Structure 1
Amino acid sequence: MRTRSSFISPLSWSFFTLLLASLATLAQSSKAGKSASSTGDSVLVIVEPTKQAEYSIFLHGLEKKGYAVTIRAPKADNPLLIEDGLPNFSHVVLLASDTKNFAQDISPQSLVQLLSLGTNLVLTLGLKQNMLTSLAPEFSLLLPPPATPLVSFFPERADSPSMIPIDVSRQSIPNDILSVFPSQVTGKVWFSGTAFALNSNPLLFPILHAPLESFAADLTDASGLVSDALADASEKGGEGLWAGSSLSVVAGFQTLVGGGTGHGADAGLGENDQARAVWVGGSSLFSDEFAKKQVVEKIQQERGMKVVENPSGNKQAALEIAGWAFQEKGVLRIDEVTHHKVNQTGLVEMYTTNDEIVYTTRISSFNPSTRKWEPYSGLKDLQLEFTMLDPHVRTALLPVKGKTGLFFSHFSSILSSSPPLLTGTYSTTFRAPDRHGVFKFVISYKRKGFTHLHHTLSVPVVPPRHDGYPRFLSAAWPYYAGAISTSIGFLIFCTIYVAGEAKEEKKSKKE
């Protein structure tokens, strides 16, 4: 007798399995955070109570993205940044750029400790000397003298020279640096504040450059009149002239540790704590005034110049800057690492010299849209080192193409023939060096703007056993030939010698 389950077709079973997979995905996404950050939802914004309304658009944008925003005055005692050795917030935004006195728990030491505990920071500088201007050189930021704003007289406009529109689309970004501003940021970004130069710190990179025709100088003299600031600055020499696109108005700092859960057995405690810090030359970039301010541009037409007013890109740019600082983009992690011999799949505790080794790793990237970790195969310059004190083998880890999963490959084969998809898997095959000792598989991927990936795994390499060496060596054939020829000559000699003695015995008997 046939049961009802026997009438279920393979296609119906596939749809049923797809339904279960969808429910599991929904359950997993419900456990994830509400915000687009990979590290947490809580944000502490430190701002003067009288100026809180000036940043309402930016704060509302954070809440709209799912962040739980808490406001605190610079001199208030609560809520604390760190309590019982643990941070109370996942992200801290300090918009009090002109404040000189802060509460006891807000200090350069506490901000550095927050970074070491994995809390992300957005720090805004001002024209006045305060705690942040003293902390900036510790991050390799070179600041001009106090009360020295960034100014530019181009393009011609009715605004103050210290209120500068910066064209984000003309920013030159090298290929090895993550672009923080996507194509969605349209319009010029208004900026007013101080610019800074970046020292040769590998953890620091520019996010937004100053315009080419801008320079940092005090525009007013003692009488309040505009002076020839550029000429005065050039007379001072090297340190007095801060000009051009070599200056930055927004810079990012990525801590050295990081990479999610994939650090291996050799990694120490605290390796998973990662944090980012963004330095902004002025808090006005996040203000409502600049978010609503129009950009007046002159466009050349056939009948002459036409004046056009376009909205600024400050609203979107401010959220993108905070998004990178809050680890929404450029976040990578190592999920799994495996290694084995060629034509084998089992776990290997040690290798023999000259073994063929297959090394495979899986890397994921955080998707802020879905709030999930997804396989990422976009790394084109990932490398593996097989090292003992010094690297003995350095080879490229190339992405592997394949199906996204067993069920989806089965389902796609039923409906249509889909091409192979990238799965975030990287693999390489190499030969173990002809040297025994304790070696390490090392992945050390450091690119500006991305999470630093670091993974180490130790494995011994031993010489062959006494019975593991080859019985015949091609290089020893001359010795083999010499030994064989000597043996054959000895046998011939013995045969001739014995045969000669036998003939002499027969001859003597006949006589």
Structure 2
Amino acid sequence: MTRWPFVCFALLLLAVHWSAALNIEGSSKRALVLLDNLAIRESHSFYFKQLKDRGFELTYRSSDDSSLQIVKYGEYIYDHIILFAPGTKEFGGHLDAEVLTQFIDAGGNVLVVGSNTIGDAVREFAGECGIEFADDKNAVIDHLNYDIHDNGQHTLIIASPDNLLGAELITGQSKRAGLPFLFRGIGMSSDPENPLLLDVLTGSSTSYTANPDEQTLTDYPATVGKRTLLISVLQARNNARVGFVGSLDFFSNDFFQNSVQSNTDKKSVKSGNEELALALTDWVFKQRGVLRARNIRHYLKSDKTTPSYYTIRNDIVFNVHFDEFVYDKWMPFNGTDVQLEFVRIDPFVRTTMKNKGGQLEANFRVPDTYGIYKFIIDYNRIGYTNLYSATQVSVHPLRHTEYERFITSAYPYYISSFSMMVGAFLLSFIVLYHRDDSAKPKAE
């Protein structure tokens, strides 16, 4: 009977370890869905069903719920947040723009959508991420690229796949499929000095953001041409991801099902909204484009042992295994552009690693300069999480017994030394054994 408490304690530790392992592996899919009203749950049911089929645990809450919270006992109870509440002026409970920013700093992911009315809470959070929505009652207008079902204001625009970011990790096969997108919402602009932001989908050259109810433009439009952002994403330095979409209707059942029929081309084609919306969600919620490095090893090429320190001009090998997280599974990474740097303040060696089924390897010779070095891998590519690895080693000079005994470039000095020795020997021999007859006394 006395063993049961210890058994229960061991099982509890195992459960905690298993839960933490799931979180580390990226398998946790707890998502909080914040809605302006419950009708959105029905009008966007196809999108939510696709998320459930992908294994996400969706929790629906009203954005102004007084009991709303994302932290409990110091731990985040959600891994992802979907903000389908663009008109919210103030979040309920213990949620605000600062808490959402802290959620991102802790590694959480957020998907934000907008509409013709943007509340202060969403605007403040978007501003923290470098995104600025246009003023309320504004909409993206395009008088040349609009659907025939438009109400006459030309706000139901058709976004071309040519204006889509060419990164399949983020957009999936949408660009290759060539299907147009239906968009009805507000335009955005991004901070040009923020290198973490990516423009995923922009308007055409004839699009602009303004109030469609005004007959004439009194002010310059908020955004013009391809500077009109429809979809943008951000990947923070801690690899947390945030997506911004200016249209709530972009994820609706109608836009998923409706065909696109341009005002100039009467041909009807399927909308590409569903493919792009799901691919974007998969990327934001880290179902794609997540990398990890493991089994880092470095050793001498000659005997494959890892010494406590290396010596200058040693031939060494560096190995590391890269994995890519793809839909709940870790797969070998097949990239061929991963570089390794051998750094002592500045890189002394930079080489591209060979990839053999996820096993990356680099062979090089240690520089003829001793000191403290680091093996550094800094892999930063569009669509992938930033992967940084640094392994420190020391490089010693040669011992006195390890230097070469005879150096080719020193042969002239060797010859001069031996020639001096031979000359000294000959001179000594001559001095000792040479007889000078002229010095002898003459006989009388």
Shared fold per TM-score greater than 0.5: yes
Identity over aligned pairs, percent: 25
1:116 partnered with 2:116? no
Contact 2:36–2:86 (CA under 8 A) maintained in structure 1:
no
The question of whether the paired residues in 1 share the 8 Å contact of 2:133 and 2:189 is answered with: yes
Q: Number of residues paired by the alignment? A: 418
User: What's the offset of the Cα at 1:439?
Assistant: 0.8
Decide which of 196, 203, 210 is 1:210's aligned counterpart.
203
Say which is worse superposed, 424-433 or 37-46, in terms of deviation.
37-46
Question: What's the counterpart of residue 155 of structure 1?
Answer: 145
Does structure 1 residue 180 correspond to structure 2 residue 136?
Answer: no
Match of 1:296 in 2: 261
Matches within 5 A, 1:455-474: 455-474=389-408
Structure 2: how far apart are the matches of 1:74 and 1:65? Answer: 24
Aligned ranges for residues 249-288 of structure 1 at < 5 Å?
Answer: 249-257=230-238, 274-288=239-253
- 8 A contact 1:72–1:78 mirrored in 2: no
Query: What is the one-letter code of the residue matched to 1:87?
Result: Y
- Distance in 2, matches of 1:182 and 1:321, equals 11
Q: What TM-score does the superposition give when structure 2 sets the normalisation length? A: 0.86
Contact 2:344 2:371 (C-alpha < 8 Å) held by counterparts:
yes
**Quick check: 2:67–2:93 contact (8 Å CA) kept in 1?**
no
CA change 1:79–1:133 in 2 (3 A) is closer
- Cα 1:473–1:146 change in 2 (3 A) is farther
Q: CA deviation at 1:105?
A: 2.0
Structure 1 residue 188: deviation in Å?
2.3
SS at match of 1:439: strand
AA of the residue aligned to 1:193 = G
Rounded Cα–Cα distance in structure 2 between residues aligned with 1:57 and 1:32: 31
Which of 306, 331, 350 in structure 2 is aligned with 1:374? 331
Structure 1 letter corresponding to 2:303: Q
Q: Aligned equivalents of 2:67 and 2:303: distance in 1? A: 59
> What CA distance in whole angstroms lies between the structure 2 residues aligned with 1:167 and 1:256?
31
Per the alignment, do residues 115 and 391 of structure 1 end up closer, same or farther by CA in structure 2, a change over 3 Å counting? same
Amino acid at match of 1:43: A
Report the aligned-residue RMSD: 2.9
1:39 to partner: Cα distance: 4.0
Q: Distance in 1 between matches of 2:60 and 2:177?
A: 27
Matched, 1:70 2:59: yes
1:482 to 416, 426, 439: 416
CA contact (8 A) 2:113 2:247 kept: yes
Q: 1:185 to 1:326 in 2, by over 3 A?
A: farther
Contact 1:298–1:308 under 8 Å retained in 2 = no
* Cα offset, 1:173, TM superposition: 3.7
Structure 2 counterpart of 1:56:
45
Give per-residue Cα distances to partners, 1:258-307, cap 9 Å, x unaligned: xxxxxxxxxxxxxxxx421111112221122322333124787xxxxxx3
Determine whether 1:191 maps to 2:180: no
Structure 1 contact 57–315 (Cα < 8 Å) conserved: no
Counterpart residue type for residue 202 of structure 2: H
Q: 1:135: Cα distance to partner?
A: 2.3
Does the CA contact (< 8 Å) of 1:171 and 1:209 recur in 2? yes
Contact 1:254 1:448 in 2 (8 A): no
Q: Residues 472 and 147 (structure 1 numbering): CA distance in 2 closer, same or farther, change over 3 Å?
A: farther
Equivalent of 2:76, from 83, 87, 97? Answer: 87
Which whole-Å CA distance do the structure 1 matches of 2:20 and 2:77 have between them?
19
**Is contact 2:343–2:373 with CA below 8 Å preserved after alignment?**
yes
Q: Would the alpha carbon gap of residues 50 and 131 (structure 1) be closer, same or farther in structure 2, given more than 3 Å must change?
A: same
Asked if 2 retains the 8 angstrom alpha-carbon contact of 1:329 and 1:367, the reply is: yes
Give the distance between the partners of 1:276 and 1:179, measured in 2 at CA: 11
2:30 corresponds in structure 1 to 42
**Any stretches of 5+ residues in structure 1 without a counterpart?**
1-30, 258-273, 301-306, 401-422
TM-score, L = length of structure 1:
0.75
**RCO higher in 1 or 2 (8 Å CA, sep ≥ 6)?**
1
Report 1:432-511 matches (<5 A): 432-501=366-435
Q: Is the 8 A contact 1:39 1:326 kept in 2?
A: no
Asked if residue 322 in structure 1 is aligned to residue 313 in structure 2, the reply is: no
Task: Give yes or no for contact 1:185–1:317 (8 Å, CA) kept in 2.
Answer: no
* Mapped partners of 1:486, 1:290: distance in 2: 97
Equivalent position amino acid for 1:98 in 2: G
Q: Structure 2: where are the runs of 5+ without partners? A: 1-18
SS in 2 for 1:245: helix
Cα distance in 2 between the residues matched to 1:178 and 1:327: 10
